[in-house]
């Protein structure tokens, strides 16, 4: 009877994770799915209660209690905010660390395959939107339609090659590419996800991918038996890549500097607004921004191009620091955790300038790190 229960629970976890990832990646174009993302995330966390309850047996429990206390204080500090907004962000702040406690490494193959395959469907959606832009010769119509449907933003820096499709559900594409590489998935999926990242992201995405590839290539080079007997062509390719990357970035900067002036001004504008008030202990969970500038009207906004600063605006530097210590601490508790920490740092870096982060995106990332990536942390490399 016990065996039947275990199998049933595992099946429930599989179904919930599949529904969670489907809702996340395919909320564009199916906007109705967005309403179910947090629901599936909550039930998936509850289904893994045995894993995250282990947190209470560790010294990190005290840190988690302190973190919760800060969040509760921030809620009490801002009771005038919309109750729906308070509940939403409270759920996010309290649940993210729990996803870093889940360990499904024994079943990592299933989770990685589901994650990568559904991410591939997301890539097809982006390719389709990009194809429409190329066929019509303009992004204006599809951009207006995307704004009407609440997808996100679609814009161009003056050429089809520099067209970006930044819609909701994009933030995990880089993690999907990491996962496909780390689990040695088919080259077809790796290439498709890489191209999707080019269409969906900005320079932060590319830098994150470059750091990921460089780190694990170096790991393969120096930690395997081939580290002292590697092919000269491989070494030459690595050196050329390292030398050419700054040139590519400099060239991209020269092209985008004038075009991206508005976007950078908006980020600076948002940073000044979000870092105002009490940034030490925060302005309260669900704090509503009422500022209006020459660039935008931020009244009631939940998403910003520098979303991390909005988190600091709510729970303060103290709360955000505790969050980082807690999540990094949960990764460091695992053996061979350096790769996990590096990938997590890369994730934090490339999502800093992304409006769709520090939500379910962060939860799924924590789960992937502690289940999918951790299962292969002892492996030498993702390169085949």
- Listed ranges 97-111, 129-143, 237-251; the one with the highest mean pLDDT: 97-111
Cβ distance 21 to 15 under 8 Å? Answer: no
Exposed, middle or buried by CB within 10 Å (0-12, 13-18, 19+), for 201?
A: buried
**What integer is the mean pLDDT of 11-40?**
94
Lowest-confidence range among 133-147, 172-186, 212-226, 294-308? 212-226
Cβ distance 276 to 316 under 8 Å? Answer: no
pLDDT of residue 384: 41
Total-model pTM: 0.84
- pLDDT of residue 86 exceeding 50, the answer is yes
Q: How sure is the predictor about 380, in pLDDT bands with cuts at 50, 70 and 90? A: very low
Lowest-confidence range among 70-74, 245-249, 331-335? 245-249
pLDDT of residue 249: 46
pLDDT of residue 20: 97
Which contiguous run of DSSP H or E holds residue 326? helix 307-332
Q: How sure is the predictor about 376, in pLDDT bands with cuts at 50, 70 and 90? A: low
pLDDT of residue 306: 83
Q: How sure is the predictor about 377, in pLDDT bands with cuts at 50, 70 and 90? A: low
Residue whose tokens read 């729970």: 315
pLDDT of residue 235: 52
Higher pLDDT, 206 or 332: 332
Higher pLDDT, 73 or 33: 33
**What integer is the mean pLDDT of 23-40?**
93
- pLDDT of residue 234 exceeding 60, the answer is no
Which residues have C-beta within 8 Å of that of residue 157, sequence separation ≥ 6? 163, 164, 255, 256, 259, 260
Instruction: Tell how far CA 92 is from the center of its chain.
Output: 14
Give the integer Cα–Cα distance in Å for 67 and 45: 19
Higher pLDDT, 36 or 302: 36
- Listed ranges 28-42, 246-260, 345-359; the one with the highest mean pLDDT: 28-42
**What integer is the mean pLDDT of 169-194?**
90
pLDDT of residue 228: 46
- 255-300 per-position pLDDT tens digit: 444 445 556 677 788 888 888 878 888 888 888 888 777 777 777 7
Supply the mean pLDDT for the chain. 80
pLDDT of residue 237: 47
- pLDDT of residue 23 exceeding 60, the answer is yes
Cβ distance 302 to 34 under 8 Å? Answer: no
- What tokens does 20 get? 């969670």
Lowest-confidence range among 94-108, 206-220, 245-259? 245-259
Q: What percent of the chain has pLDDT over 90?
A: 26
- CA-wise closest residue to 327 among 312, 308, 340, 311: 340
Question: What HEC string does 190-233 produce?
Answer: HHHHHHHHHHHCCHHHHHHHHHHHHHHHHHHHHHCHHHHCCCHH
Exposed e or buried b per residue across 159-184, where buried means at least 16 C-beta atoms within 10 angstroms of its C-beta? eeeebbbbbbbbbbbbbbbbbbbbbe
pLDDT of residue 124: 96
pLDDT of residue 246: 52
Query: Please, what sign has the CA dihedral across residues 364, 366, 367, 372?
Result: positive
pLDDT of residue 381: 41
- 116-173 per-position pLDDT tens digit: 999 999 999 999 998 888 888 888 888 888 888 888 888 776 666 667 888 888 889 9
């Amino acid at each position: 009877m016990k065996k039947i229960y275990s199998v049933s629970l595992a099946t429930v976890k599989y179904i919930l994770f599949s529904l969670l990832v489907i809702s996340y990646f395919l909320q564009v174009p199916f906007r109705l799915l967005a309403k179910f993302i947090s629901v599936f995330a909550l039930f998936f966390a509850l289904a893994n209660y045995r894993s995250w309850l282990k947190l209470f047996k560790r010294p990190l429990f005290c840190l988690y209690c302190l973190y919760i206390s800060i969040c509760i204080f921030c809620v009490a500090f801002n009771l005038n905010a919309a109750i729906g907004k308070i509940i939403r962000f409270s759920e996010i702040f309290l649940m993210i660390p729990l996803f870093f406690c889940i360990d499904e490494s024994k079943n990592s193959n299933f989770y990685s395959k589901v994650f990568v395959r559904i991410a591939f469907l997301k890539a097809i959606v982006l390719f389709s939107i990009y194809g429409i832009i190329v066929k019509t010769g303009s992004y204006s119509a599809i951009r207006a339609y995307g704004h009407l449907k609440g997808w996100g933003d679609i814009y161009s820096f003056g050429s089809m090659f520099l067209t970006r499709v930044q819609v909701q559900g994009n933030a995990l594409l880089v993690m999907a590419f990491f996962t496909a590489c780390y689990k040695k998935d088919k080259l077809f999926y790796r290439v498709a996800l890489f191209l999707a990242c080019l269409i969906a992201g900005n320079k932060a995405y590319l830098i994150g991918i470059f750091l990921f590839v460089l780190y694990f290539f170096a790991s393969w080079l120096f930690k395997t038996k081939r580290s002292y007997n590697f092919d000269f062509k491989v070494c030459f390719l690595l050196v050329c890549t390292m030398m050419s990357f700054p040139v590519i970035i400099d060239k991209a900067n020269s092209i985008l500097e004038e075009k991206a002036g508005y976007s950078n001004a908006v980020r600076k504008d948002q940073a000044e607004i979000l870092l105002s008030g009490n940034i030490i202990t925060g302005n309260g969970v669900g704090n509503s921004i009422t500022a209006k500038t020459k660039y935008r009207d931020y009244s009631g906004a939940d998403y910003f191009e520098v979303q991390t600063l909005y988190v600091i605006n709510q729970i303060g530097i103290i709360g955000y620091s505790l969050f980082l210590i807690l999540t990094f601490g949960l990764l460091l508790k695992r053996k061979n955790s350096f790769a996990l920490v590096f990938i997590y740092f890369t994730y934090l870096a490339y999502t800093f300038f992304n409006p769709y982060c520090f939500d379910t995106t962060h939860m799924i990332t924590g789960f992937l790190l502690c289940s999918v990536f951790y299962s292969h942390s002892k492996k030498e490399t993702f390169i085949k």
